Structure 1
């Protein structure tokens, strides 16, 4: 029988793509959903509600691998104190709930893989190249990611191989990050944000899914891995490349930082800062990225 992979956040952008990749590679997939869904070929849906500490325990008990992708969007709403709390809790409550089921039933899946983010290195712009050994930042993004990874370590403490995937901006066809940019860039109104010098550590959805597949298939993988391309892309380079693909050059003036701060509040640091992040650790496992050129990656995503 096909080995089963349980996904949290399986109905989201990354989760949907990963589900297809897993099935294509011979796995069956279980997806946790807050609302009832009809199961399909190779996909079984189970209900849960982390806020109410509820989960259909069969989802965990039937899993050979668990991948945790769930979490509130970082740049969906202004960072009020309430919103910050929701961002953190939406990442750690699911892990704690899964941990309780594993511990209760003495269940040991072959691996637990959790999403994390390059935000762990902080909302700053510098010429430093961050590796998995770079210290965690003390700002909101850094603290959130550290709490996220520390909670995943509870699963590891049970003796389960645990992998944390520190992800950058994910590029996909009309989805995720690009879905937000498409309306303005498609109609010729794309612009550079702030100075435009902030780095944008990105990865194509296809390569990100390959990393998750590697994480469950390769028993030698454990710990944290950066999931980004290191090509020195800045916001200015990204904006100009995307505009070019739509057939024009950026003509609007840069959006001043103070305007973004007025509109977005503290959350503006997520778009006004960015660092270079090295993927060498995951590459040393033998994984090869299919998309390492920004223009090629964007061309594949823009239609």
Structure 2
């Protein structure tokens, strides 16, 4: 009988790709969803409602592994107090509910893998290269990721191997980050944001889902891992490369930081600043990135 992987956020960008890879590797998949979905031979859907603190208990009790991907988008809306609360709670509440079910039913799983983000290192631009030992930043992104990971570590107290995947910007075909930025570039209006010197740690969706797969199949994987290519891409480099892939050179001036701050408020920090991030730890486990060249990656995503 196939081992079962329970996904939160299974209907999202990463979740859909990961579901396909898990099924291709012989797993069955369970997905927590707020809407009615028809089960398939390989996918079982269970209801959950965070507002009511509800998860169908059977989803957790039937799982051999749990992967937590759910969370409100970081740059979807302005960071009001209400939005910040939603961003945090959408990441921590599911873990709390899963923890309660596991503890109350004396249930164990082979591994609990939680998404996290390179935002833990903060909305800062410097020449420092951040690794998994770098202290979390004291800004909104840093604190949010730290609380997110600390909540995931509660699962570890139950004796369950716990992994945290600190993800960079995810590139995929007409999805995720590129879905937001490509239309303006395709229209010939691509531009560098702010100084353009802010780093942009990135990863191809195919590499990211393989890291998640390795996280459940390799029992030596434990703790936090950066999931991004260490190539020192900046916003300027990304913007110019994307324009090149689309067949032109950027002609617009840089979009001033003050304009983005007016338009986006505090959220502008997420696009105007960015750290360099190292991926050596995941590579030392034997993982090999398939996409490490930015131009090749963008061409793959846009073909």
Q: TM-score if structure 2 supplies the norm length?
A: 0.99
In structure 2, distance between residues paired with 1:51 and 1:227: 30
Stretches of structure 2 lacking an aligned partner (at least 5 in a row): none
Q: CA deviation at 1:50?
A: 1.6
Alpha-carbon offset, residue 111 of structure 1: 0.2
1:36 Cα deviation from its structure 2 partner: 1.2
SS of the residue corresponding to residue 88 of structure 2 reads helix
> What's the offset of the Cα at 1:59?
0.4
Residue aligning to 2:274? 274
Taking the aligned partners of 1:41 and 1:246, their CA distance within structure 2 comes to 41
Who is 1:64 aligned against? 64
> SS of the counterpart of 1:170?
strand
Q: Within 1, Cα distance between the matches of 2:232 and 2:165? A: 20
What CA deviation, in whole Å up to 9, does each residue of 1:40-79 have, x standing for no partner? Answer: 1301100001221111111001100000000000000000
Deviation per CA, 1:246-277: give whole Å up to 9, x if none.
10000011000000000000000000000110
Measured in 2, the distance between the counterparts of 1:192 and 1:231 equals 18
SS of aligned partner of 1:31 = strand
Q: CA deviation at 1:82?
A: 0.5
Two-structure CA RMSD over aligned residues (Å): 0.5
Question: 5 Å matches for 1:102-113?
Answer: 102-113=102-113
The residue that corresponds to 1:168 in the other structure is: 168
Q: What secondary structure does 1:30 align onto?
A: strand
1:116 has 2:116 as partner: yes
Tell me the alpha carbon deviations over residues 18-44 of structure 1, each in whole angstroms, 9 at most, x when there is no partner: 000101111110000011111113011
**Which residue in 2 is equivalent to 1:251?**
251
The yes-or-no answer on 1:7 pairing with 2:41 is no
Aligned to 2:205: 205
User: CA-to-partner distance for each residue in 1:200-241, whole Å, 9 max, x for gaps?
Assistant: 000000000010000000001100000010101000010011
CA distance in 2, matches of 1:228, 1:15: 18
Distance across 2 between alignment mates of 1:71 and 1:51: 14
Structure 2 equivalent of residue 223 of structure 1: 223
Matched residue, 1:35:
35
Partner of 2:149: 149
Taking the aligned partners of 1:302 and 1:288, their CA distance within structure 2 comes to 23
Structure 2 distance, partners of 1:172, 1:275, is 22
Contact 1:168–1:202 (Cα < 8 Å) also in 2: yes
Equivalenced residue count is: 303
CA contact (8 A) 1:51 1:93 kept: no
* DSSP-derived class of the 1:86 partner: helix
Q: Corresponding residue for 1:79?
A: 79
Q: Tell me which residue corresponds to 2:295.
A: 295
